[in-house]
Structure 1
Amino acid sequence: MPADLIDALKDAIAAGDWHRALPLLRARAELEPDHPRHWANLASVAPRTGTDPVPALRRAVLLAPDAPGYLNDLGAADRDGMTAAARLLVLAPLHGPATIMRALKAFGDGKIRLARSLLSKVLVAAPDTAEACYLLAQATEQDGMISRAVGLYRTVRVLDPADRQGAGRALARLGAGPLEAAFTPAHVKMVFDGYAENFDTHLTGRLKYSAPESLLRLARACGAVAEATSVLSVLDIGCGTGLAGAAFRPHCRHLTGIDLSGEMIRRAEAKGIYDRLLTGEVTTILQQERETYTLIIAADVTSYIGDLTTFLATVAVRLAVDGTLLLTALEPAPGKAPGIGPDGAHMHDLAMLRRCADEAGLSLKTYERGAMREEAGQPLATLFVAFTKRRQTGV
């Protein structure tokens, strides 16, 4: 490949400009078609541009059929990945990713004990594999051995203190861990980075997500938004791909979005909705911010927050006096205490929200009950709440 094209390729990759890098990688693979690494590199960039990586991976496997790495990548990308996994296990019987893939298939087929057996083999070969330990904990819980599952979830927390897998969430759900530690930033980031590609269609289609529209109606009802005027400055916390931003954009002059997931932010940026986008953990970012906002939106954010006191206190600092905070909260069933709900998310009742908000210098403006989305075909009881920042707080 000519030196100038190689330099251009390096520049594109360094800049994260995958749409520019993809044709250069394809050109390199076609110029030297017998090099499997070129096809594998092409496949690694393809998903970032919405291109199917499977054809390039199949070419890499054809050129190097005994290379476990290419088979593993193909197994992960191809819907018929079990064929690749089976060949992998012939080449390398203790290959971790392939064994995990087989275990997931067994799990999905209801063969829980087979899944446990396969995952146990992975841990014999590689005891520090947090993913396998987490999946074994899930299979063990499904098999009814709760105390043993709790021990395995705790092991995951030791293997991976950042808890990308979400063991803290499982422990909180089982009453064996603190609610405040249920969702770590690393876990939330991993979940939504993986969810970003299908987020809009799955959430609004299959789950019938309607939080942005419900919050906009609430904003109109309480006077936070009016048709004749624009809100000066709006902050969308947990902006995701921009669903709430799109609903509120016509009513604000300046719109900022914050999200923990870089993949979500990338998709929000592509829509051109926001004036400014920030990537990172929300309380950390807001503690560093100097801007104040007339309106702050937090649609389906408290579902992932156990420590409401710290969250609301941090948000209140960035909210202008007499400004409005709009948020949603999954509501526990009557007689049930706040905690982790059946869908694995935090539930907060109105009394808890009011108490934490009051400590932050926020007063309840109005609220409504409804459902912001469905889970397993059933509406999730949701509080749609508007708070205002009191003048006398000195915050």
Structure 2
Amino acid sequence: MSNGPLHVSSGDPVVDRRLEWARALIEEGNAADAAHLLLEVTARAPEFLPLWFLLAEAREKAGDPVGAAGAYVRALRADPADPLGAGVRLARLGGNRVEAKMSEAYVRTLFDQYAGRFDEALARLDYRGPELIHDALEAACVTLGRPFAFGRALDLGCGTGLVGERLAGKVGRLEGVDLSPNMIEQARHRGGYDALEVGDMLSFVEQQVADTAELIFAGDAFCYLDDLAPIFHESARALQSGGLLAFTVETHEGEGVILRDTLRYAHAEGYVRERLAEAGVTLVSSEHASTRKEGTVPVPGLVVVAVKRY
């Protein structure tokens, strides 16, 4: 999914026309000409986010990563909330760590735009997150010798509620959180949740009373987090003894965390295991499985279940 500049007016008709011409040039494959056209009007709208963002995209497509990075930095300065995702694109280009990150505003904007067609799009990608998490949890319960049933469950990055729907018959109380208000509305319409909240998943888990959740799960959500340590630590705190943490991640064959060209983070299996151990939870299973495809190619991934032992 793509998230180009928002089509809003700069208040200057000259700048607005240049933006439209530049978009057309980019679509025709003339990104270098588009960049030149946009650069000429930056002085007329020096704080207009879509102008800097489109200039960065044009420079990137024209093979000018240094120029693109500079324009992404200017986009961030124009709006530090970063609703268009300049920070994560800067990260892809190897930018400064402080500025080069994925913003909450970007994820919210992305999925607010996407919510109405989200389920249909995932079907085209052969999305398997719900069944993978369900089956991994069922197998983990057999391994642990416990019933495949849970009291209170938390769905992190619940989206439209696809994973929650798959597990609804196995939980007594289901609560979900998502950054996107539009995705939350879709989940509410789908039903099955006892409570839904708009917010980021880490803050949501941080506000939970310790030892009160029997299950915490996240399907295709941790790919928007680079550092998994905080969410693992807070999940361990919120889980009751014997509670389970189940999730999927995209993975890669190297070490640590990488940002893929799709602007989603991939976490090495070793990294996931280390962060879980640091959080004080015990790995039950880690299986290689793809939750979705990019085109016709399955995206490498893991489906993981861990248990809180104490």
TM-score, structure 1 as length reference: 0.71
* Aligned mates of 1:203, 1:121 — CA distance in 2: 40
Counterpart in the other structure of 1:257: 176
Matched residue of 2:141: which SS?
coil
Shift of 1:227: 11
Aligned to 2:294: 375
> Which fold has the larger relative contact order, with Cα–Cα distance below 8 Å and residues 6 or more apart in sequence?
2
Q: 1:222 is matched with which residue?
A: 140
Which residue number in structure 1 is paired with residue 48 of structure 2?
129
Equivalent in the alignment of 1:340:
259
Taking the TM superposition and a 5 Å limit, the aligned residue runs for 1:22-41 are none
- 1:265 and 1:279 in contact (8 A); partners too: yes
- What is the deviation of 1:376? 2.8
Residue pair 1:180, 1:305 contacting (<8 A) in 2 also = no
**Aligned partners of 2:99, 2:55: CA distance in 1, in Å?**
24
**Structure 1 counterpart of 2:95, from 160, 176, 182:** 176
* 1:321 paired residue among 228, 231, 241: 241
Q: Does the CA contact (< 8 Å) of 1:343 and 1:375 recur in 2?
A: no
The one-letter amino acid of 1:214's match is: L
Tell me which amino acid in the other structure corresponds to 1:184.
S
Q: Could you tell me how far 1:181 is from its partner in structure 2?
A: 5.1
Residues 330 and 380 of structure 1 are in contact (CA less than 8 Å); yes or no, is this contact kept in structure 2?
yes
Name which of structure 1's ranges 360-369 and 334-343 shifts more when overlaid on structure 2: 334-343
For residue 292 of structure 2, give the secondary structure of its aligned residue in structure 1: strand
Aligned-pair CA distance for 1:158:
1.5
> 1-side partners of 2:93 and 2:195: how far apart?
39
* Contact 1:172 1:179 (8 Å CA) reproduced: no
How far 1:182 sits from its partner (Å)? 1.9
2:256–2:271 Cα contact (<8 Å) kept = no
Across the two proteins, how many residue pairs are aligned to each other?
302
Query: Closer, same or farther in 2 for the Cα pair 1:181/1:294, shift >3 Å?
Result: farther
Give yes or no for contact 1:181–1:306 (8 Å, CA) kept in 2.
no
Which amino acid in 2 is paired with 1:377?
Answer: T
Distance 2:280 2:306 in 1: 10
Distance 1:114 1:256, change over 3 A: same
Aligned pair in 2 of structure 1 residues 99, 180: CA closer, same or farther (>3 Å)?
closer
Q: Residues 137 and 148 of structure 2 are in contact (CA less than 8 Å); yes or no, is this contact kept in structure 1?
A: no
SS of the residue aligned with 2:209? Answer: coil
Structure 2 CA distance, aligned partners of 1:322 and 1:267? 32
Q: Which residue of 2 aligns with 1:209?
A: 127
Please report how far the alpha carbon of residue 216 of structure 1 lies from its aligned counterpart in structure 2 after TM superposition: 0.7
CA deviation after TM superposition for structure 1 residue 122, in Å: 4.7
**3-state DSSP of counterpart to 1:246:** helix
- 1:120 corresponds in structure 2 to 39
Following superposition, the deviation at residue 195 of structure 1 comes to: 0.9
2: CA distance, partners of 1:283 / 1:337: 20
State TM-score, norm by structure 2.
Answer: 0.89
Q: Aligned match of 2:27 in 108, 111, 124?
A: 108
Paired position in structure 1 for 2:251: 331
Tell me by how many angstroms 1:375 deviates. Answer: 1.3
- C-alpha distance 115-385 of structure 1, shift in aligned 2 (>3 A): same
Bigger Rg, which one = 1
- Amino-acid identity (%): 33
Q: Deviations over 1:124-164 (max 9, x none)?
A: 32111112211211110111111111111111222211111
- Give the corresponding residue for 1:138: 57
**Are residues 152 and 335 of structure 1, via their aligned partners in 2, closer, same or farther at CA, if it must alter by over 3 Å?**
same
Q: Which has the higher helix share?
A: 1
Contact 2:254/2:268 (8 A) holds in 1 = no
CA contact (8 A) 1:212 1:244 kept: yes
Tell me the SS of whatever aligns to 2:271.
Answer: helix
2 CA distance for matches of 1:351 and 1:314?
20
Q: Structure 2: state its 5+ residue gaps.
A: 1-5
Q: Please say if 1:299 is aligned against 2:219.
A: yes
Would the alpha carbon gap of residues 246 and 302 (structure 1) be closer, same or farther in structure 2, given more than 3 Å must change?
Answer: same
Residue in 2 that maps onto 1:186: 105
